[in-house]
Structure 1
Amino acid sequence: MKQVLIATNNAHKVDEIRTALDFEGWEFMTLKEAGVVSDPAEDADSFEGNARIKARAARDAACAVLGHPVAVLADDSGLAVDALGGAPGVYSSRYAGEDGDDAANNAKLLAELSDVPAAERSARFVCTLVFIDEDGGEQVARGTVEGAIGFEERGSEGFGYDPLFLPDEFAGERTLAEVSQERKNGISHRGNALRLLKKQLSE
């Protein structure tokens, strides 16, 4: 049995990872399930940098608790809007401030883009995964989903910026919050990154 520690306690994220990386004999566990506490400062200037910080911190913490190295998977993701020079980027979750929430972040994004026409509202969700094996070997996988930012929130199925994001896959007619989770996973940035990581690990 290969144990893989996922550097999160987000149940939805864990389910998506378990489904995507369905290698025989692999067992996934969250930080909480492993009895590991890890909450490092994510102060890198890139998604890959922050994912690596989380992966290394979780690996060190797990080794101290479990007494042996385990494989670790961490991710960092966010929204990059071209008209804003790639913002909010690594600050996606705290775009409206450390105490901000999804509603505040979305409101700020709409305000920042209030004078930007539809043709110039291109954006993408980005997810970077960092996988560190028991022996310290590292794999990095990056996934994106291209689209644009709408003029109002639509849909109740998603979270974060989903109600504003119109994927190219849907021809700009539906937001990520207007489709099922299964449909979203099929095109999502994390789903794309996980599919690439699975291919890399299989090779």
Structure 2
Amino acid sequence: MAVSDQAWVLASGNQGKLKEFQDLFAPWGIAWVAQGELGVPDAEEPFHTFIENALTKARHASRLTGRPALADDSGLCVPALQGAPGVLSARYATLFGREKSDANNNACLVAQLKDITDRRAYFVCAMVWVAHADDPTPTVAQKMWWGEVLDTPQGEHGFGYDPHFWLPEHRCTAAEMPKAQKNLHSHRAQATQALLMELQQRLNLTQVA
């Protein structure tokens, strides 16, 4: 299938994310294409902040395609661990000599919190959109979703740290929350809506007929 010359690039190969943005921006006549469909390899993520890594990925995708690009970076932060796992959330276990996997990442996190009573944590999602690779005013949205870390996993849905992420106001973990409800409250949902509002203002978007 041919890719529109006007399509924006999503700096990710995640088809779920791609569909999410296609649906969200369709009323404004904006199409999306995953960077892999245009031959763009993954960018390095060398920084200690989510925003810097997201910006790097967005600029990388835009530079190699000549198109506007969007990237996101997300993870779990625990204040009692100075923000760890942070940007290393997906590979936290490798810091302790273990293989990268959701189960190992969670086991290492729980182990680090063994003697700590402050279990507060938050998921964070940073999103960055650039009009071109050298855009001096990238559009940024960053949102947090607060909860607590449980020792014992609960729930079968979600992925990553979701089974250990307890939401006191909902009395369930992120892995127990119905998908539709999670899509309203999660860090990614909040950041996506915030980014859309910023882009509506920046680009004066109007809905197509």
**Residue equivalent to 2:112:** 112
The reply to whether residue 16 of structure 1 matches residue 26 of structure 2 is no
**Residue equivalent to 2:83:** 86
Question: How many angstroms apart in 2 are the aligned matches of 1:84 and 1:97?
Answer: 17
Aligned 1:118-137 pairs, distance under 5 A:
120-134=118-132, 136=135, 137=137
The reply to whether residue 141 of structure 1 matches residue 141 of structure 2 is yes
Amino acid aligned to 1:76? D
2:7 aligns to what SS in structure 1? strand
Aligned 1:1-12 pairs, distance under 5 A:
2-12=6-16
1:152 aligns to what SS in structure 2? coil
Percent same amino acid at aligned positions? 38
Amino acid aligned to 1:58? A
Aligned 1:33-182 pairs, distance under 5 A:
33=37, 35-62=38-65, 69-97=66-94, 99-117=99-117, 120-134=118-132, 136=135, 137-170=137-170, 173-182=171-180
CA contact (8 A) 1:40 1:54 kept: yes
Amino acid aligned to 1:78? G
Amino acid aligned to 1:174? C
Question: How many angstroms apart in 1 are the aligned matches of 2:26 and 2:155?
Answer: 30
Deviates more, 1:146-155 or 1:129-138: 129-138
CA contact (8 A) 1:76 1:128 kept: yes
Deviates more, 1:47-56 or 1:128-137: 128-137
Deviates more, 1:103-112 or 1:9-18: 9-18
Count of residue pairs the alignment pairs up: 192
TM-score by length of 1: 0.88
Q: CA RMSD in A?
A: 1.7
**Deviation readout 1:104-127 (Å, 9 max, x if unpaired):** 10010111112223xx10010001
**Residue equivalent to 2:190:** 192
**Deviation readout 1:142-172 (Å, 9 max, x if unpaired):** 01111111121111110000111112441xx
Amino acid aligned to 2:161? Y
Residue 18 of structure 1: CA displacement? 2.8
CA contact (8 A) 1:163 1:177 kept: yes
Question: How many angstroms apart in 2 are the aligned matches of 1:81 and 1:4?
Answer: 34
CA contact (8 A) 1:38 1:61 kept: no
CA contact (8 A) 2:49 2:87 kept: yes
Amino acid aligned to 1:56? R
Amino acid aligned to 1:16? E
CA contact (8 A) 2:63 2:132 kept: no
